[in-house]
Structure 1
Amino acid sequence: MSDTGPARAVRHYVRREVSLTVHGDQGLHLERYSGPPGDPGLFGPDSVTWRVHADAPGMLMGGFASLMLQSLHPLAMAGVDQHSDFRRDPIRRLNRTVAYVVSTTFGSTEVAEAAIAHVRDRVHPHIHGTAPDGRPYSASDPHLLTWVHIAEVRCFLAGYERFGAPTLTPAERDRYYRETAEPARRLGARDVPESAAEVARYLRDIRPELQITEAAIEGIHFIRTFGATPLERAASRILMNGAAALLPDWARDPLRLGRSDLARLLVDRPLAQAAGRALRWAMEPSDIVGAAYERMGRTPPGRRER
């Protein structure tokens, strides 16, 4: 699509509104990504992680999918339900989550390590309690940290490949899981799977621990119906239906998403793919991704003049 005239105005509007929603009104803090020159951070421009995490639609819908999948663990969901302000200010929670992922992916080594240390040493120690079933939980529990990590990266990868980005080779998928395991371990996760086969085995083995809770149903309903205007609510529904299509088959029914296989195939997937193309056209490369590549003396793939 051309970037002249009305198309340029539309692209600017979408880019601004999505950026404001995802990153908040505090700015992008590009200084976290623009220096020091030559510092690859935790991954660098030749990593699969930079490629996957630079994909706007894959990360947005993959992120929603990971929230749904994570909610199936009763202890992880209890922590969100009892300590998160997502009902009162869901955008702020989104901003914090995005800031962590982007900082650890594209930030300098100092920025990435500081983001991990902040969550590990200052945030997680305060998140603990008792779940409705009487079991204690802690955000610092290595077992729960591994679950949250695997649910996240599995859905990011699914989103990247589902919504139009070039398909990865099996070796590249394994490399993505191996790369992203390192920051998860620094955060406190243990026995982190490092290949697609290990992730599949992990998800199979953890399924007996997973079950739906009222808090999870309430949280997913809140996200699916989020929006202050009809347009915002329609966009949320399209993105959430696209995200639901990324979930493992066994995860959909417990979450009561209410979509038939036919609806997902003929309605949800085409709408989500169209939304993905629009997001990629409007958002890529993001200013953050551009700053990170320039820090390394490189040009982001797909960069265009604006």
Structure 2
Amino acid sequence: MLAFNPGEAMLESFKELLRPPPGMAFDFSQPAGEPALAPSDGIAWQVFANPVVLFIGGVAAVLLELSEPSVRSGVWDHGGFQRDPAMRLRRTGFAAMMTVYGPRSAAQQMIARVVRMHDRVSGTTPGGRPYHANDPRLLDWVQATATFGFTEAYHRYAQPLSAGEKDAAFAEGEPAARLYGATGAPRSWAAWEALLRETAPGLEGSGILAEFLRIMEETPLAPGVVRPLQRLLVRAAVEIVPEPVRSLPQLRGRGLRPGEAALVRTLARASALLPLGDTPARQAARRLSASGTRSRN
């Protein structure tokens, strides 16, 4: 019997984070020369190539989304987290990959489909407030928290970013945000901080926030022997969530333990050196190099 290799299992788990989910296979290497929505020499192309950053940043972004009552109701009631959390996360990750690496025409088509689906998502929060998924206020928050989550995860655990690079991460997301309808999404780090201050009084804890954390810790997104690393990365996500959300009862004390930040940094930096195969980032680089094109917006 072959011995189980934790290193191989971890590598396969990281590869899985970068693969399109079933039914959504896509060749990012075509059509030759077509630019992406995000510039190939920008920050986003670096950030989204790192699977550890993707996992941590994605969880942090959802924690922020679920702290806003209207977004929470829309995501939880219609987003599929309860039915199949692993697939929901993979579909969300693929959508993010498409906006960063995909040819512009395909990214535009995908976003148009999402907008049409969101147009059918509406309801009322438990507090009695009507919501609609295509409300620009909610779209701005979702876009902002996603950019923050991935950028801050990269900054904390993979490679420190300068203030200018953090600003660039938000500016690079503007074309996709505009297509989604998030016309007021932050275009700089200062604008993100301003939106956070403006939104903070309405952010709140809930049983759903606690349930999401439980799902992320217990759902088998990684093989059993590697499962402790999954829980570690969830704690790393809680660690980077800004106030006032990090102090909510459901998150308080759920961040990293002493000495764990160094371990997460080692994992994030090592994942950049792993043989991850033909990733979307590599395929997209081939697409642009086929005609010497550089994607600069």
Q: Structure 2 matches for 1:152-301, cutoff 5 A?
A: 152-165=146-159, 167-227=160-220, 230-231=224-225, 233-259=227-253, 264=256, 266-282=258-274, 287-297=279-289
1:111–1:159: structure 2 CA closer, same or farther, 3 Å change rule?
same
The alpha-carbon deviation at position 150 of structure 1 amounts to: 0.7
Name the CA distance, whole Å, in 2 between partners of 1:293 and 1:152.
Answer: 23
1:24–1:48: structure 2 CA closer, same or farther, 3 Å change rule?
closer
Task: Identify which of 129, 132, 157 aligns with 1:135.
Answer: 129
Name the CA distance, whole Å, in 2 between partners of 1:172 and 1:21.
Answer: 25
Instruction: Indicate the SS of the match to 1:282.
Output: coil
1:197-246 deviations in whole A, cap 9, x for unaligned? 11111111111121112222222222223238653542321110111111
Q: Which amino acid aligns with 1:94?
A: L
* 8 Å contact kept, 2:209–2:250: no
Structure 1 position 115 matched with structure 2 position 107: no
Structure 1 position 16 matched with structure 2 position 12: yes
Structure 1 stretch displaced more, 70-79 or 227-236? 227-236
Structure 1 position 98 matched with structure 2 position 90: no
Name the CA distance, whole Å, in 1 between partners of 2:90 and 2:275.
Answer: 17
1:36–1:21: structure 2 CA closer, same or farther, 3 Å change rule?
closer
Which protein has the bigger helix share?
1
Name the CA distance, whole Å, in 1 between partners of 2:23 and 2:271.
Answer: 20
Q: Which amino acid aligns with 1:218?
A: E
Q: Which amino acid aligns with 1:216?
A: L
What TM-score do you get using the length of structure 2 for normalisation? 0.87
Q: Which amino acid aligns with 2:212?
A: G
Counting matched residue pairs gives 286
The equivalent residue for 2:294 is none
1:102–1:273: structure 2 CA closer, same or farther, 3 Å change rule?
same
Name the CA distance, whole Å, in 2 between partners of 1:188 and 1:38.
Answer: 27
Instruction: Indicate the SS of the match to 1:82.
Output: helix
Q: Which amino acid aligns with 2:202?
A: E
Task: Identify which of 136, 148, 151 aligns with 2:145.
Answer: 151
In structure 1, the gaps of 5 or more residues are 1-5, 299-306
The alpha-carbon deviation at position 275 of structure 1 amounts to: 2.8
The alpha-carbon deviation at position 27 of structure 1 amounts to: 7.5
Name the CA distance, whole Å, in 2 between partners of 1:283 and 1:88.
Answer: 32
Instruction: Indicate the SS of the match to 2:173.
Output: helix
Structure 1 stretch displaced more, 16-25 or 109-118? 16-25
Identity of aligned residues (%): 27
Name the CA distance, whole Å, in 2 between partners of 1:25 and 1:185.
Answer: 25
Name the CA distance, whole Å, in 2 between partners of 1:25 and 1:203.
Answer: 32
In structure 2, the gaps of 5 or more residues are 291-297
Name the CA distance, whole Å, in 2 between partners of 1:56 and 1:100.
Answer: 15
The equivalent residue for 1:51 is 46
Name the CA distance, whole Å, in 2 between partners of 1:14 and 1:224.
Answer: 16
1:6-36 deviations in whole A, cap 9, x for unaligned? 9xx87654333333356366387352x1022
* 8 Å contact kept, 1:177–1:196: yes
The alpha-carbon deviation at position 38 of structure 1 amounts to: 1.6
Name the CA distance, whole Å, in 2 between partners of 1:203 and 1:183.
Answer: 20
Which 4+ residue blocks in structure 1 deviate beyond 4 angstroms? 9-13, 283-286
Name the CA distance, whole Å, in 2 between partners of 1:183 and 1:10.
Answer: 38
- If asked which structure has higher relative contact order (CA below 8 Å, sep 6+), I would say 2
* 8 Å contact kept, 1:58–1:161: no
Structure 1 stretch displaced more, 271-280 or 199-208? 271-280
What TM-score do you get using the length of structure 1 for normalisation? 0.84
Name the CA distance, whole Å, in 1 between partners of 2:66 and 2:21.
Answer: 28
The alpha-carbon deviation at position 115 of structure 1 amounts to: 1.2
